[in-house]
Structure 1
Amino acid sequence: MAATFKALHLYTAPLSGCSARIRIAAYLKSIPLIYHTIDISKSEQSSSTYLAINPNGSVPSLTVEASSSQKFTITQSPAILDFLSAHFPDPPLLPGIERPRERARVMELASLVACDIQPPQNSRIRKKIGQDFNGNGETWARWVYERGFSIYETFLETRRKEKGGGKYSVGNEVSLADVFLVPAVQGGLRVGIELGKWPILKEIVDECWSLEAFRKGGLGGHGRLVP
């Protein structure tokens, strides 16, 4: 534990892709988090107790005990990852500023997942589509995933033409791009996508899944890549 912090409490849900990003990063960096499971099936994220921690009623949330009398909470996975990366820098998940192209590529891919894939298909949106607009939330989610992964694959193809590729999304080192990608793929598999449509992406996900941190931190924790 970093000397300046007494404890780090992560509020997480097993099937939350955003939570899985934090769990994977924590395992990669050997960060000793204290886990608190929020049961989405029981709407615990909407309880008064949890809303006092995170008014948005979403997971993950990270409560930092800086001392016996001081603590603060960080919500939203990018903000939590930024905090953890600043205080637990090894191994780095973002290339340094001396590698501007690689750094930009990592942020580009992570942002694709964080902005264009995860939010449009999350459980709130799916429920709203079904209940209020007489639509099929799962069909919608499948379209979002397939569109997003097709774009991700295009970026990977371009990367291979530029630099010859690598084992992971950007080169031969695990990065934030992979930390964001794998939980999204797990979520896509749960609604019936066929990963073989994107061969380069599948190679990268398979490589990530060979690492214990991804298996332990992924959806469900100690979960499987496929449902």
Structure 2
Amino acid sequence: MNSRKGFPRGTDGATAAPGADPDIGTGATLRRRRRGPSLDKTAQTRQQIAEAALAEFVECGVARSTMERIACRAQVAKGTLYLYYPSKDELLRGVVEHALRHSAVYRPLRRRKGETVRAFLRRSLLPTLEAVDSSERGMLARLVLSEARHAPELARLYKELAFDAWQNYVQDLLALAVKEGELRTRSVSHSAQLLASPFWMALVHNNLLASEGSQKLALKPLVELLIDNLFAGAAGDNVVVQHQ
């Protein structure tokens, strides 16, 4: 005589534990199967697609790149690509945001107690410039130089997310330096533009003019020198500041 008579049996004929619901295991299994990808997996796939798209844009140009080729390069299904980026314009924004993720604008540091604006600028900006030429930020800037005329949406996104955002970030810091008596300048906005100029000078020189690696300009020392020169004046002689 079966001492476990009356207990429900599973689909494999095994006797279930007392008080067990035969549908609990099945329901849990179905929930596990229906659960979407994890946040880590989602972020990884999004990064994979953005990196593949940037490489495709640089190699083939924005207009000539297709979603199908980008999906193939990213090693994802075309449907997966459209799930993350329903249109090419949204993919462009994703590429720009991904390439700029290490910029000082999007990873702002906290100013230390007693730290001068000059010291904060150096600590905030200089480390991000060391390898910018070979980074995705450098790739994006080169893409903008070559493709902006043919891809106006790329130009608009870069101006909004990179150029204007960086200028506003630096301009706010310089205005603070003027307010605290640390900097004198005839124009805060022009000074911010001046600090951005070595990036574009090095980009054009290193990618179009320098035939050998030894001739390439190092970006970090140029910005470092500009910061030092900008703050070299006597703070007590500050002139009226113009933001435009």
Given the two structures, how large is their TM-score scaled by the length of structure 2? 0.30
Flag the structure with higher helix content.
2
Given the two structures, how large is their TM-score scaled by the length of structure 1? 0.31
**Which structure's CA Rg is the greater one?**
2
Flag the structure with higher strand content.
1
